[in-house]
Amino acid sequence: MNNKQGFVVNCALGALFLGVSLGVSAKGDPESGQQLSMKGDGSGAPCMACHGPNGEGNAAGAFPYIAGMNEQYLYRQLKAYQTGERNNAVMSMNIDNFSDQQLQDIAAYYASLDKPTSTANNANSELIQQGERLVNVGDWDNYIPPCSTCHGPNNRGVNENFPGIAGQHASYIKQQINAWKSGNRKTDRVQLMEAVAKRLSDEQIEAVSAYLASIPAAE
Amino acid sequence: MDTSLKVTLSLIGISIGGLAIAQSQSPGEVKLPEFEQGKYVHDAPTLSDIENDPNLHKELRKVILKGRDMFMNTQQYRGEYVFNDMNCKSCHMGEGRLPWAAPVWPAATTLPDFRGKNQHVNSLEERIAGCFSFSMNGKPPEYGSDDMLAMVAYHQYMAKGAKVYDSNIAGRGFSHLGKQMPEDISYDAGKQVYEENCAVCHGSNGEGKTVNGDIVFPPLWGDGSYNWGAGMTRIFTAASFIQNNMPLGQPGRLSDEEAWNVAYFINAHERPQDPRYTGEIKETREKYKNFYQWSLYGQEINGQVLGDHDNTGEKPFLKPEILKSRSFD
């Protein structure tokens, strides 16, 4: 957050010296974001190629749904792919030419969409039950608090720091928990998720991902 | 991890500056104090144990589960028993089972006992009433009521298999750092620790976080938080709690110094009046000196005398009638 504030201050100072009023606007423009989501950054695939026409993502590709997510959360993740705090070769390649304002616009566009309503059907009820217990009760003996402690009521998210995870594709949740676990994802200075991820077994990660994917992202 | 490696890693952390907070441990590591020799450890039952214990009558199981539900979601009694944004589980982490996180089962095995705080022998019900009156800034369920019975049943079941009247309990209470705060304790240093480690959840003004009316992160000061009579207002209690439980999932992340400073900073803010308030701050502080000597109640911080007000928060009264002293003279 300090970096971001510093960045805003720098931009503001830059704008002063140039005598123009650019700088980073706090809000993105969803209409421009929609155009960008279809066009791409000029050297890569457009957002919708992987995240779908409605931002619903794709389970097979481990592409997350991004529709209806918190705007600042989305912006920060896009930024993180540019700075290397998040590592994903495809994402970084596809957004590296976007300006800060363009990233804001894309975030604003996807945040304005409705969250997907479909949920994954999972026939493995034992796995789902194990996941349900971990997500809602936790495994305190191993210092694993319930997900909703931070991700909010029904795991639908709290703010830019704690995204909704309910109804997210299991493949993506699994991939990200493993990214936290390995230290590959570094977007949280307080390391809340990293600490919990490091204690989750592979089996627990499977269970949590399957259960979260089976519950609705929104009402 | 050996010390030299830790030092090296810390130095790397510092040199990165700005980008990362210096780490003295890996985030996955759980760093808790060692249990002292001779203390006994009790493995309190889990939710699955309550659900599957074949010896529980189904009616009793229902009552214990109700007590557990009250404990985990105390906010369902907002405006009845609770007048702030806290749940029992906010402080008694891990369902009230975990050592170093204020496990609640010792109350069931060591009470009735004399309590320094109110200078008489307390029952388990009275102890629970104390939590409601101070930490929850509320009005306790009536003694002998169905709700009180449910709370008691949960506490008692958590104590299943524990030794009765043996207070040599591992991981109980909040004083592993000692009671006396360091002389160089610092509000400003505590503020910095707070901003770097706590504000992401509890907010930059300690206000906590609510989503659609549901409390996610409890407020640490202000009207929504524990009142001036709560044990957590004692700097040593808060310091010990924080070091062993916060940030969530990272016991031992903060150094002793950081824990003391941030506990001081948090408790150097205003909160609802203590139900024991006599109407005069100096008199109240003097009357309960054995308690307030550990808190900043009645002390001047940043030009303000803390607790010098009659604000009871959302609660429309000062003292619950249920709080009474007793004597066997």
Between the ranges A7-21, A162-176, B7-21, where is the mean pLDDT highest? A162-176
* CATH 1.10.760.10 applies to domain A25-112: yes
Q: Is the pLDDT of residue A4 over 50?
A: no
**Does a structural domain hold residue B26?**
no
pLDDT of residue A10: 45
pLDDT at A133 over 50: yes
Identify which has the larger pLDDT, A91 or B6.
A91
pLDDT at B18: 37
Instruction: Show residues of chain A in contact with B209, CB under 8 Å.
Output: 158-159
Half-sphere exposure of A90 (CA within 13 A, CB side): 9
How many interchain CB pairs under 8 A, A with B? 72
Average of per-residue pLDDT across A170-187? 95
Q: B198 with B301, same domain?
A: yes
Contacts of B179 (CB under 8 A, 6+ apart): B236, B294
- Which of A2, A157, A195 has its CB closest to that of B28? A195
d(CA B312, CA B215): 20
pLDDT, mean over chain B: 92
pLDDT grade, residue B24 (50/70/90)? low
Residue B327 lies in a domain: no
pLDDT at A219: 86
Judge if B204 and B125 occupy the same domain: no
pLDDT, tens digit (0-9, with 9 covering 90-100), for A74-127: 999 999 999 999 999 899 999 999 999 999 999 999 999 999 988 887 777 999
Instruction: Express each pLDDT in B38-92 by its tens digit.
Output: 999 999 999 999 999 999 999 999 999 999 999 999 999 999 999 999 999 999 9
Sketch the domain layout of chain A as residue ranges. 25-112, 125-214
The pair of structure tokens assigned to B301 is 């911080």
Radius of gyration of chain B (CA): 20
Which token pair is A52?
Answer: 């779908």
Give CA–CA dist B268/B221, Å, rounded: 9
**Residues B300 and B195 grouped into a single domain:** yes
The answer to whether domain A25-112 and domain A125-214 are alike in fold is yes
Cβ contact B221:B191 at 8 Å: no
Asked if A144's CB is within 8 angstroms of B249's CB, the reply is yes
The pLDDT, as a whole number, for residue B25 is: 64
pLDDT at residue A23, rounded to an integer: 40
Helix (H) or strand (E) segment spanning residue B215: strand B214-217
Q: What percentage of residues in chain B have a pLDDT greater than 70?
A: 92
Calpha distance B113→B118 (Å, rounded)? 11
Number of domains in chain B: 2
A161 touches chain B (CB under 8 A): yes
What is the four-CA torsion angle of B16, B22, B26, B30, rounded to 10 degrees? -170
Helices vs strands, H then E, count in chain B: 13, 6
pLDDT at B131 over 60: yes
**Whole-number pLDDT of residue B7:** 40
B194 and B116 fall within a common domain: no
pLDDT digits 0-9 by tens, B162-218: 999 999 999 998 888 999 999 999 999 999 999 999 999 999 999 999 999 999 999
Are B151 and B200 contained in the same domain?
no
End-to-end CA distance of chain A: 31
The structure tokens 């040599």 sit at B168
Q: Indicate if B300 and B193 belong to the same structural domain.
A: yes
Predicted confidence at residue B26, as pLDDT, reads 82
Rg (CA), chain A: 18
Could you please state the CATH topology (level 3) that the domain comprising A125-214 is classified under.
Answer: Cytochrome Bc1 Complex; Chain D, domain 2 (1.10.760)
- The average pLDDT across B313-319 equals 98
Distance in Å, alpha carbon of B306 to nearest chain A alpha carbon: 30
Mutate to test the interface with A, among B31, B71, B98, B250 (most CBs of A within 10 A): B250
Asked, for residue B322, whether it belongs to a domain, the answer is no
**How many angstroms away from the CA of A27 is the closest CA of chain B?**
21
Under an 8 A CB cutoff, do B98 and A140 touch? yes
Q: Any CB–CB contact under 8 A between A152 and chain B? A: yes
| Nearest residue on chain A to B28, alpha-carbon basis | A195
Task: Tell me: pLDDT of A21 over 50.
Answer: no
Residue B316 located in a structural domain: no
pLDDT higher than 60, residue A15? no
Q: Is residue A8 very low, low, confident or very high in pLDDT (cuts 50, 70, 90)?
A: very low
Q: What angle do CA A59, A63, A64 make, to 5 degrees?
A: 90
Q: Are B197 and A190 in contact (CB under 8 A)?
A: yes
Among A143, A156, A194, the residue to mutate for chain B (most B Cβ within 10 A): A143
Instruction: Give the pLDDT confidence score for residue A124 in this predicted structure.
Output: 79
- Over 90: is that where the pLDDT of A41 sits? no
Q: Which of A2, A141, A161 sits opposite B200 (nearest CB)?
A: A161
Q: What is the CATH number of the domain that holds B100?
A: 1.10.760.10
| Nearest neighbour of A153 by CB, restricted to B201, B214, B251 | B214
The ipTM value here is: 0.88
Q: What is the pLDDT of residues B144-175, one digit of tens each?
A: 999 999 999 999 999 999 999 999 999 998 88
Closest-CA residue of chain A to B32 = A143
H-helix or E-strand spanning residue B217:
strand B214-217
Tell me the pairing of strands B120-122 and B214-217.
unpaired
Percent of chain A past pLDDT 90, that is, above it, reads 79
User: What is the extent of the structural domain holding B228?
Assistant: 187-305
**pLDDT of A185 higher than 70:** yes
